Amino acid sequence: MNSESIYWMSLAHELPAWNFADREAWKNEDKMNLIIQFFHTQKMSISDFFGLSEKDWKNCFLLNNRQLTELQKAKSSLANYAFLAETLQNNGIDAIPIVSPDYSKTLKENLKKSAPILLYTKGNQQIMQEKSIAIVGSREASDIALQFTDNVAKKATKEWKVVVSGFAKGVDKQALDSSIACKGQSIIVLPQGILTFEAGFKTYYKQIIDDDVLVLSTFHPQAPWGKDLAMARNSIIYGLAKEIFVAESKPSKNRQGKETKGGTYAGAMDGLKKGRQIYVRNPDPTEKNDNLYLIQCGAIAVDFDGNQVSLAETAQATVSFSDQIKDILATKELTINEIHTKIKFPKSEATLKKELLKLDFVEVIKIKNKNYYSLKSTSAATLF
């Protein structure tokens, strides 16, 4: 293991992370800007940076008193990380900092200053530089979603693409298993520290030594599995992939039993906002999931084998906006919020209002000081 790994580990894990309760703490972007300053601008190694005095830190990098105190604490933790680095080395685990040529170029390109400072890996690191796809979806996936995952993973393997998996049950595990079954290459992205994956290393020992599987974590090596880590891991899965395929995005339920949007939905929407191409399995009209909504929001619809389908083939695509409005207003008047929910309109309620006003068969009526939308009366004057 590189002798500078202990400095990278201290920088990655010892500085308090920003949150809503502590907005003066370190954002990942703050750490990245600091690295740019000392490594790229001043051509300084991280060990040389940690060797500077507090006065030099303040003068050269314009750090405030709190940041200086936290860096000193990180510096005092170097001895502890020396022992951890030895443990990692004994287990065949590498620590790859963001400045290393071995770091995933795809991850840096997709996440930019949100990319993790350090990657912990075991296996064939070259896998990170190959073309890659992620197949994501619900933990409680339907049979059709799992079959879709199997089809896309096998197709990716034939095209020499790496399959990125989050190692959760459902779609994630299916993607990994299908890739391995076809002798493809995979990246397992852990929701925990890499030293806590002992059972997994035993399970995938052969694939790792055959250079077909790379195990990767961005968390402290000794961190146990946690729900927060599982959610944070999702951005790494999306970041490592050149292409993202959504098998199934299902709402999940919180502790109160109410439906909430899950990690698949959040990741796909975030990708769309960033201009990434998200491929979503074209659902059957009877399915209860968010696949169609993601397609309406700009995702690309694909068939059962992952091939792009035309707009005309998209589920419910033949039902125009005006026909949908006629259908839902046929029996009773509705509020803008009710309409927005029923047709899963992909834009805001304000935009929906503008679209409704363009329809000559819709009128606004007021009931108990609240606006409702209704079909205009079709009765007309007649001579008979």
Per-residue pLDDT at 22: 77
Compute φ and ψ for 197, nearest 5 degrees. -105, 35
Q: Please write down the long-range contacts of 79-87, taking CB distance under 8 Å and 24 or more positions apart.
A: 81/5, 81/6, 81/9, 81/10, 82/6, 84/6, 84/9, 84/221, 84/222, 85/1, 85/5, 85/6, 85/9, 87/195, 87/221
Residue 318: band (very low, low, confident or very high) from pLDDT cuts 50, 70, 90:
very low
Task: Band the pLDDT of 312: cuts 50, 70, 90.
Answer: low
Count of Cβ atoms closer than 10 Å to residue 365 Cβ: 11
Instruction: Average the pLDDT over each of 18-32, 58-72, 103-117, 317-331 and give the range with the smallest value.
Output: 317-331
pLDDT digits 0-9 by tens, 78-119 = 999 999 999 999 999 999 999 999 999 999 999 999 999 999
Report how far residue 341's alpha carbon sits from residue 223's, in angstroms, rounded to the nearest whole number. 40
Task: Tell me if 175 sits within 8 A of 165, measured CB to CB.
Answer: yes
pLDDT value at 380 more than 90: no
Cβ pair 199, 167 in contact under 8 A: no
Question: Per-domain residue ranges for the chain?
Answer: 5-90, 109-313, 321-375
- Looking at residue 383, what is its pLDDT? 39
Statement: residue 248 has pLDDT above 70: yes
Say if domain 321-375 classifies as CATH 1.10.10.10: yes
Quick one: which of 143, 171, 158, 296 has its CA closest to 245?
A: 171
**Token duo for residue 97:** 């900092």
Say how far apart CA 242 and CA 148 lie, in whole Å: 19
Which two tokens mark 179?
């890739």
User: For residue 303, what are its two tokens?
Assistant: 């068939």
* Phi-psi map region of 104: left, alpha, beta (phi>0 left; psi -120 to 50 alpha): beta
Which amino acid is it at 9?
Answer: M
Tens of pLDDT, residues 73-85: 999 999 999 999 9
Domain 109-313 has what CATH class?
alpha beta
Locate 186 and state its tokens.
């995979």
